[in-house]
Copies of this chain bind each other. A is one copy, B any other.
Amino acid sequence: MSRSQTAFLFDLDGTLVDSVYQHVLAWKESLDSEGVNLSVWRIHRRIGMSGGLFTHMLLRETGMEITEDRLERLRIGHAAAYARQAANGAVKPLPGARELLAFLSDNGIPWAIATSGRMETAAHNLAALGVDPAKIPVVTRDQVRHAKPDPDLFVTAAQRLDCDIGRALVIGDAIWDMLAARRARALGVGLLSGGYGQQELEQAGAFRVYEDPADLLRHIDEVVARS
């Protein structure tokens, strides 16, 4: 039997860490160098899926051939460009992120992180957040078969916490988080801090939408009862 408590399952980029726009321009740089011409806003609207699913979908839309070599070059190009974009400590925790996580821990509310990124990129962000993956469950793309919008990442995170996904909250900034939440019968809570519009998140099934982690913390009683 899993615990009957409400668990908080967090996306990472755009939800706890202010990194979405850097990822967007890093993908733009990588795609440009492969001769894939895509407007930046279209890349933004795909961010939050796994890198593999994302590049597959973009290549399919542009009618380009999808080869393993090309996917690998795109992945490497993005990682290198992101490292440049994120240099000089430009990527920081979002306002209230550390405080929200501390509040949950202090109140005995279980929480975990589930990201479509790989551990190699997530590690920097976890360090900035002060999250130790030896103590807090962190599920990355490497550990599941399918990434968002498939619910695998969040389902696995709930299992690690020994919590029922059907009682969990999924906190994310992208419509892919909200779709994954609904597919897993969790409750999606949207944050505007990834740069999407409130209605996009609501249309994707968000139960509530807040500006950022600080705003969610201010309204925490709307989504969970304190013990």
User: Taking beta carbons and an 8 Å cutoff, which residues of A are in contact with B?
Assistant: 18, 20-22, 24-25, 28-29, 32, 37, 39-41, 44, 85, 90, 92, 94-95, 192-200, 212
How far, in angstroms, from A32 to B28 measured CA to CA in the complex? Answer: 23
Given contacts A195-B195, A197-B198, contact A40 B25 (CB under 8 A): no
How far, in angstroms, from A194 to B94 measured CA to CA in the complex? Answer: 23
How far, in angstroms, from A121 to B194 measured CA to CA in the complex? Answer: 27
Return A76 CB to nearest CB of chain B, in Å: 18
- A sample of 16 cross-chain residue pairs with beta-carbon separation below 8 angstroms, ordered by A number, consists of A18-B39, A20-B41, A21-B28, A21-B41, A21-B44, A22-B25, A25-B25, A25-B85, A28-B90, A37-B92, A39-B94, A39-B212, A41-B192, A41-B194, A44-B195, A197-B199
Return A176 CB to nearest CB of chain B, in Å: 15
CB neighbours (8 Å) of A197 from chain B are: 196-200
Chain copies in the assembled complex: 2
CB neighbours (8 Å) of A24 from chain B are: 21
A85's closest neighbor in chain B, by CB?
A: B25
A29's closest neighbor in chain B, by CB?
A: B90
How far, in angstroms, from A85 to B25 measured CA to CA in the complex? Answer: 9
Return A207 CB to nearest CB of chain B, in Å: 18
Return A197 CB to nearest CB of chain B, in Å: 2
Which of A25, A39, A92, A194 has the most B CB atoms < 10 Å from its CB? A39
Return A39 CB to nearest CB of chain B, in Å: 5
CB neighbours (8 Å) of A95 from chain B are: 39
Q: A18-B39, A37-B92, A41-B195 are in contact. List 6 more A-B contacts (CB 8 A).
A: A18-B40, A21-B24, A28-B90, A29-B90, A39-B212, A40-B195
A173's closest neighbor in chain B, by CB?
A: B41
How far, in angstroms, from A85 to B84 measured CA to CA in the complex? Answer: 11
How far, in angstroms, from A64 to B111 measured CA to CA in the complex? Answer: 36
